[in-house]
Amino acid sequence: MDWLFDATWTIAGHDVLWREIVGNGFGLGSAIGGLRRRVWAWPVGIVGNVLLFTVFLGGVFHTPQARDLYGQAGRQVFFVIVSVYGWTRWRRARAAGREHGDPDAPAVVPRWAGRSGWVQLVSVGVVGTVVFASVFQALGSWGPWADAWIFTGSLLATYGMARGWIEFWLIWIAVDAVGVPLLFSAGYYPSAVLYLVYAGVVIWGFVVWWRQEARSRRTDEDRGEPQQPLLLAE
């Protein structure tokens, strides 16, 4: 198993772990599944999270970079926990939809966060970044402030997805904007490239959810019914 765990690919003179490449591939697959609101997105994402957890603790697992990004590693743990929750909730929502005669019923209906939602997002974003930057700096994390925002922004984006807030896609864009320079400078090239690719998926996901929200709102207005915004976060 050691050869599989430590296998590398040399790119432009840099050794890159295959598990970093494979882990990011699973992450991209999960993002596409989330865009389409498919249940399989969760277990696919969990596989990628486990692999990337070992990658970002470079000093512990002796990766070629030998740098510990505690925010990046910590968010993988959080993603696994939330993915188990999301996997369970989306499966239940899909089962409920089938019972009502709709085999393609979505697990969540997109909506805007509104003023109260933005207050939550901004407040937690600022406080969380400051607090986690202090924690990561004390732990010796490489690039603690950028790492802290990536960690905090990832938590907020996942929370927003659970609530069905369309803005969670915009938070991911802000995470990518910080994550790409950090990962390139730390030598995590496959992860940095994935962030660039993921940015395109995120922009498309934002457009898809935005259009879906508009269609749902028009349908509810035509029926004279209030919009039902949540299934996943009930």
Residue-wise pLDDT for 14-42, tens only, equals 567 778 888 888 988 888 888 887 889 88
Q: What is the mean pLDDT of residues 184-190?
A: 79
What is the sign of the dihedral through the CA atoms of 58, 183, 150 and 34? negative
Over residues 186-198, the mean pLDDT reads: 79
What average pLDDT does the segment 136-160 reach?
Answer: 86
**pLDDT per residue as tens digits for the range 167-180:** 999 999 999 999 88
- Which one is predicted more confidently, 105 or 211? 211
- CA-CA distance, 202 to 61, in Å (whole number)? 30
- Give the other-Cβ count within 10 Å of 199's Cβ: 17
| 41: amino acid identity, one letter | A
Question: What pLDDT score was predicted for residue 41?
Answer: 86
Residue 60 — very low, low, confident or very high, per pLDDT cuts 50/70/90? low
pLDDT value of residue 91:
82
Number of other residues whose CB lies within 10 A of the CB of residue 79: 24
Query: Strand 14-17 vs strand 8-11: parallel, antiparallel, or unpaired?
Result: antiparallel
Which structure tokens are listed for 9?
């690919």
- In this prediction, residues 103-115 reach a mean pLDDT of 80
Place of tokens 């659970």: 162
Share of the chain above pLDDT 70, in %: 81
Which of the pair, 15 or 102, is modelled with greater confidence? 102
CB 166 within 8 A of CB 112: yes
